[in-house]
Amino acid sequence: MGDFTHADLKTHNCELKSDISHSIPYIDRHEWDGLTADDNFYNSYGWLASLEDAQGPTDFLTVYGSSGLLAGCALWAGEPEGPMFSTQALFPSMSEQWGNKFLWGGARRSTHNEVVCTQGVSRRNALRRFFYSAQTYAGERNLSGFLIPYMPLKRALEIVRYVPETHALLHSAEATMPVPRGGLAEMLGSWGSHERVRSKAEIAAFEKYGNRTRWLPLTSDLDESIATLITNNRSKYGSTQDRQWMIRNLQGQRKSGVIHSAIAVLAERENKVSAVTVFYKFGHSLHARYFGSDYTLADNDFRYFVLTYYLSLEYAAFHGFRKCCLSTSALEAKAKRGSVIEPLAVVVIPCKSPLGREAVENHNRFFYEDYERRFRSNLSADWKTITN
């Protein structure tokens, strides 16, 4: 673990110290998780440690003060040829300004990232020190800059206020479901007749095909069957990782201990598992991470919607969770079933030529207008902040 000391990190608070750690065990777990917000599960210590165990170590940029850890984030290279973790894929209209060699922050392949950071009077200087250190670190490697993707817009705009050289660009959205105390029944009662009838019909179809459900912790005896179902679903949507890749991830989660926060709901027919959704409990939030299915059963029993949306509401309400976090895919389907669509942005600090302010504003305006047309009443209030 090396001290990250540079002559000019553009902050006048000399008591702060930046550091690069080459693996997460060098960082104190209790300090890290003490700064991790409920919604930031995929940047929690246990999840990051599980990724290291399954996929290899990664660097971490941290900021320390006299009281200990103040800010931190995992670093990685993105996926330059991928559809979700490359700047050219996320921002094709701005590719000439971006280049495609950035230092990426956040958990590997995470679609929700926040900087792990202290609250209170030290927060502003900690974030400044963090981003200027990341800029310097990227510049020393002749990269175009540093960015963190899939960040909630309100967090991204906070950073832009505190760190003048940063920009926030909308690029995606995530679905969340507020959890009423009465669970699914209360949620259905709040909908219009069309949505209520459709959802009840989907639940009836699921039951008609003989599906039964069980909630189970992710014990090792389930790894093979669950990994097979999840790989089926990932392969359907273009993933090239095989079943062993998924098993390694589950084993990594077991080693880090984060598996103890997992809960799976299984659909079964005649003693055979037909589908599964895996959730993770963190603070007041329930996070849906994996869905898997047996696609040899081709009938339309709405197993995805029943397991991931309807049953999660029942489970979350019973256990006192405040919301279900449903990630970034299939937003139209999630919005039709009661989800709120929340904006996600890239926060970027360039090392070389700055991004043009007009280009950033135009991009964000067009992105917002597109989502306003598509989702209208399902958009969260945060969307309006990008136009203010």
CA atoms within 13 A on the CB side of 9: 25
| Chain segment 23-70, per-residue pLDDT in tens | 999 999 999 999 999 899 999 999 999 999 999 999 999 999 999 999
Tokens of 63: 């900021």
Task: Give the pLDDT score at 12.
Answer: 42
Instruction: State which of 321, 336, 369 marks the end of a domain.
Output: 321
Q: What is the mean pLDDT of residues 212-222?
A: 96
Both 159 and 187 in one domain: the answer is no
Tokens of 55: 């996929």
Position 298 pLDDT exceeds 50: yes
Residue type for position 269:
R
Task: Give the pLDDT score at 14.
Answer: 56
Both 127 and 82 in one domain: the answer is yes
Both 355 and 309 in one domain: the answer is no
Position 174 pLDDT exceeds 50: yes
Classify each residue of 75-109 as buried b or exposed e, where b means 16 or more C-beta atoms within 10 Å of its C-beta.
bbebeeeeeebbbebbbeebeebbbebbbbbbbbe
Both 228 and 360 in one domain: the answer is no
Both 18 and 116 in one domain: the answer is yes
Give the whole-angstrom CA distance, residue 3 versus residue 61. Answer: 10
CB count within 10 Å of CB 230 equals 25
Give the whole-angstrom CA distance, residue 160 versus residue 72. Answer: 17
Both 30 and 133 in one domain: the answer is yes
Give the whole-angstrom CA distance, residue 299 versus residue 307. Answer: 16
Tokens of 154: 């309100």
Both 18 and 97 in one domain: the answer is yes
CB count within 10 Å of CB 243 equals 18
CB count within 10 Å of CB 295 equals 13
| Chain segment 60-104, per-residue pLDDT in tens | 999 999 999 999 999 999 988 788 998 888 887 766 666 668 999
Task: Give the pLDDT score at 97.
Answer: 61
DSSP letter (8 states) at residue 66: T
C-alpha separations of 131 from 113, 146, 323 in Å: 15, 8, 30
Residue type for position 257:
G
Both 272 and 289 in one domain: the answer is yes
Q: What is the mean pLDDT of residues 126-147?
A: 96
Q: Which residues, in sequence order, are CB contacts of 377 under 8 Å at separation 6+?
A: none
Which region, left, alpha or beta, applies to residue 174 given φ > 0 means left and ψ of -120 to 50 means alpha?
beta
Q: Give the global pTM.
A: 0.93
Which residue range is the domain that position 216 belongs to?
180-321
Task: Give the pLDDT score at 238.
Answer: 76
Task: Give the pLDDT score at 2.
Answer: 43
3-state secondary structure (DSSP) of residue 289: strand
What is the CA angle 123-153-102, rounded to 5? 80
Computed over its alpha carbons, how large is the radius of gyration of the chain? Answer: 21
Both 146 and 233 in one domain: the answer is no
DSSP letter (8 states) at residue 262: E
Q: How many domains does the chain have?
A: 2
Q: What is the CATH number of the domain that holds 380?
A: 3.40.630.30
Q: Which residues, in sequence order, are CB contacts of 252 under 8 Å at separation 6+?
A: 49, 50, 51, 52, 53, 54, 55
Tokens of 122: 């030290």
Tokens of 256: 């880090």
| Chain segment 81-91, per-residue pLDDT in tens | 788 998 888 88
Tokens of 106: 């956040």
Q: How, if at all, do strands 340-350 and 167-178 pair?
A: antiparallel
DSSP letter (8 states) at residue 274: E
Q: Which residue has the tokens 């279900």?
A: 324
Q: Considering the domain boundaries, does residue 263 fall inside one?
A: yes
Position 120 pLDDT exceeds 60: yes
- Place 355 in a pLDDT band, splitting at 50, 70 and 90: confident
Q: Considering the domain boundaries, does residue 119 fall inside one?
A: yes
